[in-house]
Amino acid sequence: MKIKEQESLAQYTTFRIGGPAKFFCAVKSEDDVMEAVKFSREKKIPILIIGGGSNLLILDSGFNGLVIKNEIEGKRWDEENDGQTVAVTAGAGEDWEKLVEESVERGLYGLEGLSSIPGKVGASPIQNIGAYGMDVSRAIRSVRALDTSKMEFVDLSKDDCKFGYRDSLFKHEKGRYIVTAVTYELYKNGKVNIEYKDLKDHFTKKGNDSPALKDVRQAVIDIRKKKLPDWTTWGTAGSFFKNPVISADKFRELKDRYPELPGFAEPDGRIKVSLGWILDKVCDVRGLIIGNVGTYEKQALIVVAKPGATAKEVIDFSNKLMHCVKDKTGIQIECEVEWAVA
């Protein structure tokens, strides 16, 4: 395993922003992961793991530690219950979109709503990626990771992972686990879920009230193409903030002022509100560009950066959005994108 020095990190993130890593290596096996962690301990430096870099903001000063690019590959499809279920285990460095594509081609239900999301398998449980009425935790059976506090590999069950909206154990115990593989449970005779408004509208327009698995995947790809920026033109990490989850009382108060504010009840009775709507209709910042950074013209929750933008510009711009939301609604919003600070 080769360890490089002063490797530019901008090329490894979809924002295409940020300075160099003091040390950088790519890992292709669990042995490589172990070796990389031992190196960082000898040098007494922090670690940053990157997969596809699609949800990451690297600072202009770079990362003053070891950046480990997870390139562990491999996929195994194990039929269970007379072929009714398939447990698919994928290496953390496998491409997420390819996994979804292959599972749909095999006629397996469970990941189709998560089509066209950039990134790698290893990030899926950390972020608990979600879209179009599902999140990946529903399909996850277990996660294999190096527990750096014990320096041993562990297999964590779905419950161990403590999943929530864009949340998991891996975010709370930051730096403790390095994901090496994920096992998903997929179904041969599943049912598609088209309750999400955009999907429902798409199929109503097409006059298709019982779409097949492949139709749902295609619909998600088409909708995303219309709503999300082209990653080759813009630097972006998708949604920059999480949708805020607020109390039912606070929601009622906002609904009095903004009757059309979309809100969705969470299992605990609180309400998840659409920040994209607030940024667009309340703060009026959809499509606003300041210098090299702005919000996407078709989706205000997405921050976009022109080539040459700096992390400082992104941070200054995102602070402006945070203040505007706080002033107008009283809600303190949180970043969805991870910041690499060291």
Q: How many residues form the binding site for ligand EPU (CB under 6 A)?
A: 19
Q: How many Å apart are CA 274 and CA 262, to the nearest integer?
A: 6
Only one of the segments 89-97, 154-162, 202-210, 276-284 lies at the binding site for ligand EPU (rule: CB under 6 A); that segment is 276-284
One symbol per residue from 176 to 205: x for binding ligand EPU (CB under 6 A), - otherwise; what is it?
Answer: ----------------------x-------
What's the token pair of residue 239?
Answer: 């949604």
- DSSP-assigned states of every residue in 224-240: HHHHS--TTTSEEEEE-
Closest contact distance (angstroms) between CB of 150 and ligand EPU is 32
DSSP 243: P
Q: Which of 10, 7, 61 is nearest to 307 (CA)?
A: 10
Determine if 280 is a binding residue for ligand EPU (CB under 6 A): yes
- DSSP-assigned states of every residue in 5-53: EEEESGGGSTT----EEEEEEEE-SHHHHHHHHHHHHHHT--EEEESS-
Is residue 239 flagged as an active site residue?
yes
Answer yes or no: are the C-beta atoms of 59 and 146 closer than 8 Å.
no
Q: Which is nearer to ligand EPU, 7 or 280 (CB)?
A: 280
One symbol per residue from 238 to 257: x for binding ligand EPU (CB under 6 A), - otherwise; what is it?
Answer: xx--xx--------------
Only one of the segments 5-13, 94-102, 179-187, 272-280 lies at the binding site for ligand EPU (rule: CB under 6 A); that segment is 272-280
Q: How many Å apart are CA 286 and CA 111, to the nearest integer?
A: 30
* Partners of 272 in beta bridges: 245, 264
Q: Which of 116, 23, 131, 124 is nearest to 69 (CA)?
A: 23
Closest contact distance (angstroms) between CB of 46 and ligand EPU is 25
Q: How many other CB atoms are found less than 10 A from the CB of residue 281? A: 14
Q: Which of residues 5-44 bind ligand EPU (CB under 6 A)?
A: none
What's the token pair of residue 121?
Answer: 């398998």
Q: Which of residues 93-152 bind ligand EPU (CB under 6 A)?
A: 131-132
Q: Which is nearer to ligand EPU, 187 or 196 (CB)?
A: 196
Q: Given 54, 137, 239, 318, which residue is catalytic?
A: 239
Determine if 171 is a binding residue for ligand EPU (CB under 6 A): no
Closest contact distance (angstroms) between CB of 227 and ligand EPU is 6
Q: Which is nearer to ligand EPU, 183 or 299 (CB)?
A: 299
Give 128-154 as a 3 state SS string. Answer: CCEECCEEHHHCEEEEEEEECCCCEEE
Q: Given 7, 94, 336, 338, which residue is catalytic?
A: 336
Is residue 80 flagged as an active site residue?
no
Class of residue 224 by CB neighbours under 10 A (exposed 0-12, middle 13-18, buried 19+): middle
One symbol per residue from 216 to 235: x for binding ligand EPU (CB under 6 A), - otherwise; what is it?
Answer: -----------x--------
- Measure the CA angle with vertex 126, ends 251 and 223; round to 5°: 65
DSSP 76: E
Is residue 336 flagged as an active site residue?
yes
Q: Which is nearer to ligand EPU, 93 or 244 (CB)?
A: 244
Q: Which of 207, 129, 217, 132 is nearest to 168 (CA)?
A: 129
Q: Given 16, 144, 166, 217, which residue is catalytic?
A: 166
Closest contact distance (angstroms) between CB of 71 and ligand EPU is 22
Closest contact distance (angstroms) between CB of 22 and ligand EPU is 29
Only one of the segments 36-44, 103-111, 177-185, 275-283 lies at the binding site for ligand EPU (rule: CB under 6 A); that segment is 275-283
**Active site residue ranges:** 166, 239, 336
Residues contributing to the site for ligand EPU (CB under 6 A) = 131-132, 198, 227, 238-239, 242-243, 262, 274, 276-277, 280-281, 286, 299-301, 336
